[in-house]
Amino acid sequence: MTNLVIFWHRRDLRVSDNIGLSNAYKYSSKLIGLFCLDTQILNRDDMASARVAYLLGCLKELQESYQKLGSQLLIIQGNPAQIIPKLAETLQAKAVFWNEDVEPYSKIRDRQVIDALKEKGIQSQTYWDQLLHAPGDILTKSSQEPYKVYTPFWKNLITENKASIAHSLNQLQPLTAAEINLVKEIGIINLPTAKDLGYCWDSPLIFSPGEKAAKEQLSFFCDQAIYEYQEQRNLPASEGTSKLSAALKFGAIGIREVWQATVNAMKNSRSDEARENIQTWQKELAWREFYQHCLYFFPELAEGPYRPEFKEFPWDNNEEDFQAWCEGKTGYPIVDAAMRQLNETGWMHNRCRMIVASFLTKDLIINWQWGEKYFMQKLIDGDLSANNGGWQWSASSGMDPKPLRIFNPATQAQKFDPEGEYIRQWLPELSSLDNEYLVTGKISPLDCQSCAYPQPIVDHQKQQREFKERYKQIKS
Ligand code: FAD
């Protein structure tokens, strides 16, 4: 057996601030990276083309990073539990290192990989990297149980010490010519295109993939927008949020590095107002953390509503209404603009995610799981924990203590897109109409006809009364 170690990248597509990778390097500088295109994940029916394209972009850059360090990132495709132990055995690797994940599928798969490696006498070493605090590190003070409510979780998280940025890597020892020949024999592939994998994303990605782009985006956001985040984050027409969600989903940037940027920004702030803005952004990072901890401890969240009474909810589940929602043809301009943004770019502003999710569940009375899946099929940042958390929050089926939230699309548009800028951007057919009609959605049948825009498919007031009635029934 050589002193070779393999680092298996999954949601940590970077070489800096990577705890598992840094530990693998401490163990041995004879180190290669590995990424397995897991066929079980790629063949799922909720994989988004934009997400696959972003992933492949990250991998391309990661291959270059390994090359610069003198080593290689190998790409394989198949079932990790079979192919990784086989590769490790062929190369006579001493150990395989990786960072853990919270998703139920990953937990089972990783157990299988550990067992298969063990059978071959190869060590596996795992770490927590994608979170500021590993699951189990933030528990209720009274009973040491996982939190089910965000605010006390946040209050606890903010007081806990955060790990520092992980050590970087220096020069790595390359594989020998004989080892390179061996890996060629066991199914190492060139990095495929999205098309090779059966996905199609032709337009430029909304976010540039990779570590370099993520660092630049963080630095750009922390230069200015972070200090105005509290107000600007709610305006979908403004560039008020960080746009780091895909980078955080795939680990193109480390969460410690992101947190450290907020700490630095705090230090540079001269006013309480500036510090409040930064803290508001930290709270969003904590939502990400909260939903991941919840999924880790309550994996059943992935299967359906957390609150049992919701299992019996009498949804309408009208297929035509669902289609209209997906295509952005509901006749509610703010909803339609948001869905068109999602369909065209693979990303949607957070305020709009809340509006369209409320509309699907409370106005169209369609099961939130339909929306959850559609989001996963489209989002560049689609992430089981955040997406499920967002949908259960919007549907009122989750852990959140405040049970019933119904967003009025017109009020939301009046408040957060008062000039109709966002609506005009995504619904150009309405651009000639006055703001008032755009934001209230009160477009005359004649204008609808001349703009080739649908009339509202449901009546908001009537539907919200109906939803409340059904909600009362399931509660009793
Ligand atoms: P910023 O406002 O700059 O926030 C910084 C980071 O904090 C984000 O990049 C993200 O990692 C995290 N974050 C912010 N808000 C949330 C939140 N509510 N929950 C969890 N993490 C958060 N986010 C995803 O990353 N993937 C999803 O699949 C996803 N699906 C969602 C579905 C619904 C119905 C809702 C209401 C929200 C969803 N979100 C999801 C959360 C949020 O909308 C996005 O994280 C955010 O819009 C990303 O833009 P940003 O990076 O500019 O965010």
Q: Is the CB of 400 under 6 A from ligand 1?
A: no
Decide: pTM greater than 0.90. Answer: yes
Q: In the prediction, which pLDDT does 401 show?
A: 65
Greater model confidence, 186 or 367: 367
Residues 6+ apart with CB under 8 A from 424: 430, 431, 438
What is the mean pLDDT of the segment spanning 311-329? Answer: 97
The alpha carbon of 113 and the centre of ligand 1 are apart by a number of angstroms equal to 31
Question: How would you list the strands of the sheet with 5-9, edge to edge?
Answer: 73-78, 31-38, 5-9, 95-99, 123-127
Query: Cα(436)–Cα(173) distance, rounded to whole angstroms?
Result: 65
- For the cut 80, the answer to whether the pLDDT of residue 400 exceeds it is no
* ipTM exceeding cut-off 0.90 for this assembly: yes
Please identify which of the residues 350, 421, 435, 466 carries the catalytic annotation: 350
Domain boundaries, the chain: 1-129, 131-165+211-297, 308-475
Return the CATH fold of 131-165+211-297: 1.25.40
Q: In the prediction, which pLDDT does 1 show?
A: 55
Alpha helices per DSSP H over 417-459: 421-426, 435-440, 445-451
* Residue 119 confidence class, pLDDT cut points 50, 70, 90: very high
Ligand 1 atom at shortest distance from the alpha carbon of 382:
28
As to burial, measured by CB atoms within 10 angstroms (0-12 exposed, 13-18 middle, 19+ buried), residue 291 is buried
Query: What number of other Cβ atoms are within 10 A of residue 452's Cβ?
Result: 8
Q: Is the CB of 112 under 6 A from ligand 1?
A: no
Among the listed residues 32, 168, 41, the one whose alpha carbon sits nearest the alpha carbon of residue 88: 32
Class of the 1-129 domain? Answer: alpha beta
Across all residues in the chain, what is the average pLDDT? 96
Query: What number of other Cβ atoms are within 10 A of residue 124's Cβ?
Result: 20
Domain 1-129 matches domain 131-165+211-297 at the CATH topology level: no
Give the torsion through C-alpha atoms of 297, 299, 305, 308, to 10 deg.
-70
Q: Is the CB of 367 under 6 A from ligand 1?
A: no
Q: Is the CB of 293 under 6 A from ligand 1?
A: no
Please give the CATH architecture assigned to the domain spanning 308-475.
Orthogonal Bundle (1.10)
Ligand-binding annotation for 289, yes or no, is yes
